[in-house]
Every structure is written in C-alpha cells, then in structure tokens.
Structure 1
Amino acid sequence: MEIPESSNFIQDIIVNDLQTGKRDHVLTRFPPEPNGYIHIGHAKSICLNFGTAKKFGGFTNLRFDDTNPTKEDVEYVDSIREDVKWLGFEWKEEFFASDYYDQIYAFAEKMIEMGKAYVEDLTRDEMQEYRGNDAGKPSRPSPYRDRSVEENMKLFHEMRDGKYADGEKCLRAKVDLASPNMNMRDPVIYRIKHCTHHRTGDKWCIYPMYDFAHPISDWIEGITHSICTLEFEAHRPLYDWFLIELGLQNRPQQIEFARLNLTYTMMSKRKLLELVQTKAVLGWNDPRMPTVCGFRRRGFTPSSIREFCSRIGVSKADSMVDVNLLYFCIREELNQTANRVMAVIDPVKLVIDNWEAGKVEMIEVENNPNDPNAGTRKVPFSGELYIEADDFMEEPPKKYFRLKPEGEVRLKGAYFVTCKSVEKDDDGKVKVIHCVYDPLSKGGESPDGRKVKGTIHWVSAAHAVDAEVRLIDNLFTLEDPAQVPEGEDWHDYLNPNSMVIKQAKVEPALADAKLEDRFQFMRQGYFCLDSEDSKPGHLVFNRTVGLKDSFNPTK
C-alpha cells in the first residue's frame, strides 16, 4: 500500500515500521476502564487511536479494562460505547480484559513454572517498606521470594480456590529489586478480591493487575501499536519484560504521548465521581462536567471536539491547553451552522404606546447570515414586547447606544422606537418601558437618513414562550484545579456561578425545537436544548459558549 506521510512522532514510528516491513498493517486499541464516564482527555486518546489507525488503513479495537470489579459497572460500559460512537468512530471488534482471564491465568502459572513469579505473604505496607523507594532507599528481598515452584503453584491454586481473604496473599513477578524503576521491583500481578464481577460473576476471586493484563491482552488481539498516555512511560519496561519472558512473538509496541491538561478543568475520574455522588453536579452528563456526554448535553458537536483534538496535536511533553481553544472550535462551527433566534434572558416589558391595539405584524428575519441556504422565518411583532433589562438605562454612561430616556434604538428587523417614560415597582426597579415607534422605519431602516447606532432584540409578549436558560461557565475558578495550593481544598475552587438559571422569554418557533438542537440567541451566545430536563411545555436551554472569543488561534 502507499504509505501516507507522517504528521507526528507516533506516525513517524508507524511509517518506519511499515517501510521496513516490521509491520504490514496497523491495529490499535482504546482500552477504557469501565469505572466512570469518559472525559475530554479520553476524547483525545480516542481521536488519536482511531484516527491514526484509519490514516494507515488499519483498525481499532474497543477493549474494556475490567480488571478491578469493585469499581466497575455496566452503566459505564454502555456510556463508553455510546460516547465513542457519538464522537464518530466505529471499532473493529469489542473485547473485555475479562475475555482473557483464563489465558492470563495460564500465563501467570507459566511465570511461576519459570521461577519468575512467587506468592507473597507480606502486607501491602510491608511490601512498600521492602521495595525501598526511588529516592535512594534500597530494596530488600521478601522472605517469601525464594519459595519453590511447587509451593508457589500450590498457594496460587489456593488463592484461586478462595482459601485466603482479600489482601492475605498476592502473586508477584520476580523482576529486578535493584532497578531504579520502581515498577520493576517485583510488581504484584494478581491480587485477591472476593467480589462479583459484572461479566464473570463469581467465577474468579483473584484478578490480574493492569500491568500484567494489558500487554497480554494487546498480544492476544494482535495489537501492533499500543498508544498510551505519558504516565505509562515508566511502565513500558515492565510491559516489554512480560512479553519477552513469556516468549511471545510479534509483540505489540507501546508508545506514549502527553495526556490532555485543560485549564479550569478537572480530569481526575475519582474526583469527578465524588462530585456526582455528593450531588455537587447534576450527574455525569451535567453540562458543566468535562465528560463527553456532558459536553454533548451542553451543545458541543462531535466535529468540534475532533477539531479541538486535531488542533492541540500530539507531543511527548506535558502542557496545559487553554480551554478557550475548545470554546473557539465550537463557536467557529456554530457560527456557520446555528440559526439565529431571539430570546430575552432577563426580560423587562416594553410597550409601544402608539401601536394599534391588538395589531400583530409578522416580521421576516434571516435564519443565518453565514448560510446562504438557511432562508428566513417570520416572527410575530406586537405593541407589547420583552427586551433585555440591561438594554435600558435611565442614567447611561457616555457611548451607551441602547435604550435610554428620549433615546432611540432599532428593534431587530422591525422598527425604530424612542423611550418616553417608565413604570417602576415599589423598590424602584423598572417594570415597564413606554415607547413610541416610527411607522416609516419598517424593517429597521432609517426613513430619513438619521443615524441610529443601537440595535436590540425583542420577543412579542403575547407570543413569547417561557424557557429556563442555564448560563454555563467553567466548573472551577482555579486555572489548574489539580494543583491546589498547599493547605487548601480543591472543593473551595468550585465556581458558585458555574450554572446561573434564568427564566427567559423566547420566540414561539423555539417551542418546536428538538432535543440537542443548537441556536444562536442573538447577542447572547450559543445555546442547546437540554436533552434531559426539557419536556413539552417546559423548555430548558444550556449555554454552550458565549459570542465573544478570547482565544487567538494564531498565537
């Protein structure tokens, strides 16, 4: 086949493998743990694994790393499948690490027979003490390291048969206690867990560790390139050691890349799970969460997330990506595709005193100026409207071009109006703004050439539809919530204004919107009809992103 040109260091390796004949095809895998919902960091890995394989005419497997049954759930399996498909990818085959438990167990027995594994009686804390540390403290061998093959095999079988309690024994690989790499200092490869597995039930009470199951699973599936995040770089010598010691041919190659770190975003699944369990958020798909399903509910598109992952590229160096790049990608797309609609988020009533009582006029407005095929629609206009409260000021500053006493503005697509008076409530808050309109300014055009700088949007009061609008912002106020100052708690940096709820008035056409439909609310931002809480007669919109862009993609 014709080999495509490389565009990153991972592809450099693959191109060389194909050119030298080391490989004649490419097969990658995406191996999520089913212990939570996947987030934007996983989306980068998904795009990389699936995209790389596809570029070279290969395929990608979806393999669930279900080696820790105490934290796994079928709910997570289903959500991962759905999210990968929603992002636009199809896997060649679906597997679970548990599919290989019999084979992995057989390889563990082979390690014992080779004198490369032994049953350990030390506690976890004792093992830590014996292993030393990477600060120069030397390791020393466990008192049980030199057990005979026969004794180790007997004990391992007893572990499998449920004779021992959790933590009472484990199986360790006999690697290199003098290695500066702590992962090589006789790592645990099997531990006892008396619990029901979501797929294998109670068949097993011992489970392989990830470092042992991962390379074997890759080899069984015929994976050519095992693409991992950078924290697994120190695990690669162990990955290779298992495959070499077991005498396995056509070994997969592990390649590491820098994981995604995003400003104002928490990537720890453990902490995200805590937010869900403590009801600090609405759930895994809360539109403030960095999960794929959360971004979907917020109004992001698969293509915008793929574009973001493409723009950030692939490197070996850890870095922090500005979340505004992600916002730029969705804003850039929705600017081209989202219809413009009128919605008043903080409404105040405007009455046109010289409008004919009961008259309703249909105003034609364009759907999307950036889409020549979007067409137009008609919006009802009457003598009583809603406008944004902050589009009126009694004592405005200089260069204030919206409505003010005796000031004139253009109502989008309709007429010029001039403020004549206001009504206030007992607290002095403006309730009603009284205006007169210029009948000759239909369509918002000046009949005599006078300058009207301000244009504001509106909704006819008699035709307005009630809607709940959620103004979504970053969930954290700290740029890197994973690096909380010493002595402080990461919970303290949760943004209290990450979701501000408003009771809005929207144009009547939005009553027919479908779940996940996306719109630009004129002068407000881009919004999506919430897929969970919206019901007939109860519209809920989430703000996907504001109109203003603080990110410069050329820098």
Structure 2
Amino acid sequence: MAAAPADAGPQKPKRKVDEGPKLAREETFALVQSWTQEHKAEIEEQGGWQCEKKLIGTFRSLPATRSSAVPDVSAAIAQSLGELLGPKPAKEPVAKVPKPTADAKGKATEAPVPDMFKEGFLAHLHKPGENPQIDQRFKEEHLRATGGKVVTRFPPEPSGSLHIGHCKAIAINFGYAQYHRGICYLRFDDTNPAAEEGAHFDAILSTIRWLGYEPYQITYSSDHFQRLYELAQQLIKKGKAYTCSCTPEQVKFNRGGEERPTRIACEHRDKPPQLCLDEFEGMRLGKYKKGEVTLRMKQDLENPNPQMWDLMAYRIVDEPHHRTGSDWRIYPTYDFTHCLCDSFENISHSLCTTEFIAARESYEWLCDELEIYKPRQSEYGRLSLQGTITSKRKINKLVDLGHVMSWSDPRLYTVDALRRRGVPPGAILDFVNEIGVTSAISTISLARFEQAIRAYLEVNTPRLMMVLEPVRLTLTNVPDDYVVMCEKPLHPKNPALGKNTVPFAKHVYIDRSDFRSEDSPDYFRLAPGKSVGLLNAPHTVKCTSFKTDASTGQVVEILCKLENSGPFVKSKAYIQWVADHEPSGSPVRISETRVFHALFKSDNPAGAPNFLDEVKPNSLEVFQSALIETGFLDVAQTELAKAKADAEKRTSAVSQGQHDRSSAGAPEAEASQLYGYESIRFQGMRTAYFAVDYDSDLVLDASKPSKIILNRIVSLKADSGKNS
C-alpha cells in the first residue's frame, strides 16, 4: 500500500465531501504509520504529542485516508506516536481561572487584571532624578527636597465642570504618585480671573475626593504671582523677553503659520531691555489698557515648532482676582506659568495629554533660560467617549435650549452628571485601568464604558424586585387574607449583603411586559392558560383570565390560580413581582423613574456641522408608577449609613494635615463631598441598575411618605441599539 505523499503533510488542503466506501481499519493503520515515520522530524518540531489533534484533521483531509473512520484515524495516530515518541505524557491539571466572587465587604475578588502602572506608558517613565538638567546642582537640590519620591500634580483651571476625560487625568496623576508612594498636588491654575468661579474650586476638590484620592497639598498658581513677575523681569534683563504693542492680527501675520513658513520678527523684538522693563512695570501699574501691550518671550523664530515662536508670557486683565483682589492687573499665561510652577513644587513627573507635545520644547526652554530645576513632561493620549460632548460652550447650548436639565443631567458625561446618574467612582477607575494608558488618543465606545459599570455593579450591588409598569395580578384560589413571608437574598453570590423578607399575598403586581393576552410557542412568561414562576415565591401561578379597560383596551388585572397542590414543577421562566400588602408596607411606590438613553444620534456629534441636529428627541423616558419590594428602605438606610461612615472616617484622617500644608483659603475636605443619595444603588431584578436622584425627599420610615426619584445607571445587558 502506497504511503501518503510527503507534500501533503502539514498544509491542510480544503476538505471535499466523499461518500465512498470506508477504508478498512488495517489499511488506515498502515497508511498512518507510514506517513508518521516519514514526517517524524516535523512532528517532533511541532511538539510531538501536542499536535495529536491537529494530525487527526490532517489525515481526514488527505485523499488516501479521507474515507477512513474517524475513530480508526485517532487510534492509528495514538499508536504511531507511541511507537515514535514513547508513551504519551500524563496530562497536567489545568489551573482553573477563578470566577468573580465577593469578599466579606462585597468587593470583587477575581483573577488579576491589567495594571496601568505596571505595563504600558506609565511603566516606562523615568525615575526621579533621571530627568536631565543643565546643572547637576538642580538635580541634587531636587532630590534633597523630595527625598527621591515621585511628585506629580493635577493642575485644573477652575472655570468649568470636570468630565470623563479629566477622570483619566486624575487617575493617572494621583494614581501614579500613590503607586510609587509619592505625593500629588492639587494646583489650581487660577491665572484667568475673568473665567474663574468660586464654586468650581470646591467642585474640583469634591470630584478628586469622590474618585478616592486625597491631595497632598492644595496650591494655586496665584501663590507664585510675585515670584513669576520677578522671573519675567529676569528674562527681560537677559534679552529673552520683550514688550510688544502688536495687535492680535499683526502677531498672527508675523507668525506666518502654515500659510507662510517664513516668520517675520516683531518690530519690538529688539527693544532695549530697560525700555521693556519700564513698559512691563507700566503694564502692572495700569498705564495701558487691555490689549495695548503684552510681554512676549524671545524664543526661536527659525524653529519649525510653533510653540517656539515668541509666545506671550503676560497680558493685561483688569479684573479682580478671587484670591489677590486688585493687587495685579497683569497675569501670566499658561505657557509661562505651568512649567515654572512645576519647578517650584519640585514635580518629578509632569504628566499631560498629547496636545501638549509641542509645548514640551518651550516648557524646557523657559526652565533652562531661567536656570532653574527642569521637570520632565510626558504625554499620554486623552480619553474620549463616542457619542458624547464635553465642550463647555456646547453643553451650555444644550442646557440653554432645554435639551438637558443642567450640567448634571445624567445624559451628559461631566463628573457631576455621572455621579448623579449613580455611576460608582470605582467603576470609572476600573474603566480607566482597563483601557490602559498609551500615547494614542482613546476614543472608546459607550458600550464598553457601560460594560465596565455593569461589571463593577454586578458583584456588590443589592438586588431588589421592581416593576416599572405594574399590572395587578390576583390569586383567585386563596383567601383575601392570604400571605406568606418569603425570605430572599439581596445577592445570590454575595451573602455579606444579607437577606430580605417580603410578603407574598393574594394581590401582587408584575411588570406589564411579562404578560401577553395571546400566547405563542416561543413565549415562556405569563399568558392565558400558561404557568410562570414568581421569583422567590413558594409556587407557580397559572393565568385563567384577565380584565381590560373598556375605553383603552389595556389589561388592568390578571386573574391567576396559585398552583399550590400536587408536586412542584419548575417553571421555564421566572419573573419579578411586588406584593400589595399594606400591613407589611408593600409596595414601596416610586414617584418617578428616569431611564436615560444616548443623547446623540451619531458617534461623533462634535464633528457634525451643527451638533444640535444630532440630538435625539426622546432620550429620556419617565415612568410614574414603578413599585419596589419593601426591602428598599432598609437597603437605602444601610447604604447611606455606610457611605456616610466611610466619608467621615476618610475626612477625619486627612483634613487636618492637608489643611496645615495647603494655601490660605483652600477648599476644605468635607464628608458631604463623598456621598449623597446617589450612594443608594441597587439592581432592579430583570430590569436595570438604579440609583436615587438628589431631587428625592427620602424618608427612611415605611410609615411616612417619601418622594423617591430613581435614575437608571445602566441596563443589565448591552443594548444592541446603542452606537458602538
């Protein structure tokens, strides 16, 4: 019998169907033995016994053995490999990957996840002291001041609400310092008094603390106004800065830009330093009006980098400052202030987004010209979510035109909006860690963000029965006073969350979506003549009839029989329910349940000619009659008390030391920054995850009325209709 040709070996040809007679077992064994002997070296190279399964597919595709029975081929290969390679090695037990569980505190415990500080961009940053200096003395002074620790900063401008992209920046700057046992400053870049509002200072600190971080010290760029002014004078004396009276149009023309690669030196560029010093002092004393004179750095007009084309260092802003009042009429620009404040605070790692890559050269130029310690700037890609808007101007338009309620509308992706929606801070940090940190701009689908929220809530959120659109179900074969108390876990996989006892009575409510007036073979919930299970109830129920509203035709009551006789039969489907039993305080009635959907039609509304054309008309659904099981009030009280205790403990531990180090007038750390009604989160079983809105008037006493407003955090499963 001829052996299979050698060239038919490792390349698996396309298989053809052959329904001819089966090859005899003896012939199969002979063919396999001959072929394996010929390809012994190749088999050993590919792992020997490890390619056993692959060889079965190979022989089933060869013309000579295609008609062999699969068991014969398998047995022949095992025998031939045994003769060639010796006995098959014992199979090593495969370690099982642990499934997510919960510890006693309800926190997720699972297989190791990627750590953005151990891999990728952040894992390859320089060590403190490795950033180059023009004088070794600066390095030595820096390391003495910091003790060789990592020192970072988060430097927001207090002119608006923070958004999801800022959460990544906070996690990187505070998290990197925390990971390396260093420190992170919160520095307010308060150099534009015309745009700053006092409320934003408190809101920014609140956001940072809500995300789980505590600043080592709260500082302000304005702390350094006098020192910055003196350094500007020093730069003028060196001939590296000059006062300029050009209009913005003249400056733009001289800089050339992309239209004209050759720059034209400003006519004021070579003014004597003393004249520039006098005019700079005149700017400070109010001798000039806004825009008449600026101070510009004398950089390198031949450099291809626009950030080296004589950037502005100071401008006139004749507005009172929130901290310095009317002491100053001139204010330093970001390009002048940022690097110098980093130097003053001995920042070891100046971490920012990639739009500042070009600014790194001017950052280093200024530090070197002034002969001071030079931090190292490193840039990572910013985070953007598809289908969202974060522009302050555009969000203001959405609010003004009534498309959203406010800056904290849960359809937005400001931090205030995410918090109000009920998104846990831990879920945001998990999401940032999951996507990692690279130098590429991250534009992530909303579906991926929502899945991260879902995964976080899955493990540690209590589960309650809830019906969004209730319809009454009456058990016709039990007495009016029938009631059975049913014990149910608040989480089937997290016993630490405890249990709840709910009444099962003659009248219960189910969700309208769980009933059909006409049955179908592929439908397993309630319909006439059909039985269904009620979660945690002792028996199934069978629909015998239903009643409708004469004017609307809508089902208003479902009549059922409690199947409490005979052997228990497990139902194909189980649905949630809430009893109508006033003595037990059931149901808990919800004043308003808000279900939020994507605000925009497209993935990139910001890129549309008119982003307002992308607004969806029906992105908010409101349900007025939702019901929840009686355990809700206990869960609310427990979650709120737990959040308050954690907040007070954290605040007590940090406020005193932070207050001693921080600048005068810095916002205080307060427990109220860390929790609110949004801390009350639960899963409405088979419905969605919800949180209590801050517009609620929650009375944690079942005998007294409450105004309860719920916001949907996220659905239980990804919505196939979402943009992704």
For these two proteins, the number of residue pairs brought into alignment is: 538
- 1:314 is aligned to 2:314: no
Aligned residue runs from structure 1 range 18-417, under 5 A: 24-248=148-372, 250-414=373-537, 415-417=539-541
Which of the residues 528, 535, 539 maps onto 2:698?
535
The residue type paired with residue 304 of structure 2 is: P
Which of the residues 434, 459, 481 maps onto 2:578?
459
SS for the counterpart of 1:89 is coil
In structure 2, do the counterparts of structure 1 residues 438 and 53 end up closer, same or farther at CA, with 3 Å as the change threshold? same
Residue 5 of structure 1 deviates from its aligned partner by 8.8
C-alpha separation in 2, matches of 1:358 and 1:396: 31
C-alpha separation in 2, matches of 1:106 and 1:19: 26
* More strand as a share of residues: 1
Summarize deviations over 1:284-310 as a string: whole Å, max 9, x none.
Answer: 332222122322222222221111111
Which of the residues 505, 521, 528 maps onto 2:627?
505
Residue 178 of structure 1 deviates from its aligned partner by 2.5
SS for the counterpart of 2:194 is helix
- 1:493 is aligned to 2:614: yes
C-alpha separation in 2, matches of 1:47 and 1:473: 27
Residue 93 of structure 1 deviates from its aligned partner by 1.1
SS for the counterpart of 2:276 is helix
Q: Corresponding residue for 2:563?
A: 438
C-alpha separation in 2, matches of 1:427 and 1:549: 33
C-alpha separation in 1, matches of 2:303 and 2:284: 30
Contact 2:519–2:528 (CA under 8 A) maintained in structure 1? no
C-alpha separation in 2, matches of 1:508 and 1:161: 69
Which of the residues 689, 708, 716 maps onto 1:526?
689
SS for the counterpart of 1:439 is coil
Larger Rg: 2
In structure 2, do the counterparts of structure 1 residues 295 and 247 end up closer, same or farther at CA, with 3 Å as the change threshold? same
SS for the counterpart of 1:190 is strand
SS for the counterpart of 1:101 is helix
Q: Corresponding residue for 2:646?
A: none
Contact 2:474–2:507 (CA under 8 A) maintained in structure 1? yes
In structure 2, do the counterparts of structure 1 residues 336 and 176 end up closer, same or farther at CA, with 3 Å as the change threshold? same
SS for the counterpart of 2:622 is strand
In structure 2, do the counterparts of structure 1 residues 279 and 208 end up closer, same or farther at CA, with 3 Å as the change threshold? farther
SS for the counterpart of 2:268 is coil
Residue 91 of structure 1 deviates from its aligned partner by 1.4
Summarize deviations over 1:412-431 as a string: whole Å, max 9, x none.
Answer: 11131112222222121112
Residue 272 of structure 1 deviates from its aligned partner by 3.0
Contact 1:348–1:389 (CA under 8 A) maintained in structure 2? yes
SS for the counterpart of 2:149 is coil
C-alpha separation in 1, matches of 2:236 and 2:196: 29
Residue 276 of structure 1 deviates from its aligned partner by 4.2
Identity over aligned pairs, percent: 38
In structure 2, do the counterparts of structure 1 residues 25 and 135 end up closer, same or farther at CA, with 3 Å as the change threshold? farther
Aligned residue runs from structure 1 range 10-21, under 5 A: 10-15=122-127
User: Unaligned stretches of 5+ in structure 1?
Assistant: 441-446
In structure 2, do the counterparts of structure 1 residues 218 and 277 end up closer, same or farther at CA, with 3 Å as the change threshold? farther
SS for the counterpart of 1:482 is helix
The residue type paired with residue 491 of structure 1 is: L
- 1:546 is aligned to 2:715: yes
SS for the counterpart of 1:395 is coil
Contact 2:121–2:380 (CA under 8 A) maintained in structure 1? no
The residue type paired with residue 364 of structure 1 is: E
More displaced stretch, 517-526 vs 388-397: 388-397
SS for the counterpart of 2:523 is coil
Contact 1:423–1:430 (CA under 8 A) maintained in structure 2? yes
Summarize deviations over 1:423-460 as a string: whole Å, max 9, x none.
Answer: 222121112222221124xxxxxx53545212111112
SS for the counterpart of 2:496 is coil
SS for the counterpart of 1:163 is coil
Contact 1:191–1:209 (CA under 8 A) maintained in structure 2? yes
Residue 257 of structure 1 deviates from its aligned partner by 0.5
Q: Corresponding residue for 2:108?
A: none
Contact 1:511–1:539 (CA under 8 A) maintained in structure 2? no
> What RMSD, in angstroms, separates the aligned Cα atoms of the two structures?
2.3
C-alpha separation in 1, matches of 2:611 and 2:371: 47
The residue type paired with residue 319 of structure 2 is: C
Summarize deviations over 1:492-527 as a string: whole Å, max 9, x none.
Answer: 223334331112111223245242211110001111
Residue 378 of structure 1 deviates from its aligned partner by 0.8
More displaced stretch, 72-81 vs 312-321: 312-321
C-alpha separation in 1, matches of 2:500 and 2:153: 47
Residue 544 of structure 1 deviates from its aligned partner by 1.0
Contact 1:352–1:435 (CA under 8 A) maintained in structure 2? yes
Contact 1:134–1:180 (CA under 8 A) maintained in structure 2? no
C-alpha separation in 1, matches of 2:118 and 2:129: 12
C-alpha separation in 1, matches of 2:321 and 2:400: 22
Residue 113 of structure 1 deviates from its aligned partner by 1.3
Q: Corresponding residue for 1:443?
A: none
In structure 2, do the counterparts of structure 1 residues 163 and 276 end up closer, same or farther at CA, with 3 Å as the change threshold? farther
User: Unaligned stretches of 5+ in structure 2?
Assistant: 1-115, 641-676, 700-705
C-alpha separation in 2, matches of 1:496 and 1:5: 42
More displaced stretch, 132-141 vs 199-208: 132-141
Residue 16 of structure 1 deviates from its aligned partner by 8.2
C-alpha separation in 1, matches of 2:547 and 2:314: 75
Contact 1:342–1:457 (CA under 8 A) maintained in structure 2? yes
C-alpha separation in 1, matches of 2:316 and 2:607: 34
Contact 1:11–1:52 (CA under 8 A) maintained in structure 2? no
Q: Corresponding residue for 2:666?
A: none
SS for the counterpart of 1:306 is helix
Q: Corresponding residue for 1:429?
A: 554
In structure 2, do the counterparts of structure 1 residues 9 and 15 end up closer, same or farther at CA, with 3 Å as the change threshold? farther
The residue type paired with residue 13 of structure 1 is: L
C-alpha separation in 2, matches of 1:201 and 1:71: 15
Residue 550 of structure 1 deviates from its aligned partner by 6.8
* More helix as a share of residues: 2
The residue type paired with residue 370 of structure 1 is: K
Residue 481 of structure 1 deviates from its aligned partner by 2.6
Summarize deviations over 1:116-147 as a string: whole Å, max 9, x none.
Answer: 11111121122111211134442212222222
In structure 2, do the counterparts of structure 1 residues 206 and 278 end up closer, same or farther at CA, with 3 Å as the change threshold? farther
More displaced stretch, 400-409 vs 261-270: 261-270
Contact 2:500–2:631 (CA under 8 A) maintained in structure 1? no
The alignment's TM-score, normalised by the length of structure 1, stands at 0.92
Residue 182 of structure 1 deviates from its aligned partner by 1.4
Residue 409 of structure 1 deviates from its aligned partner by 0.8
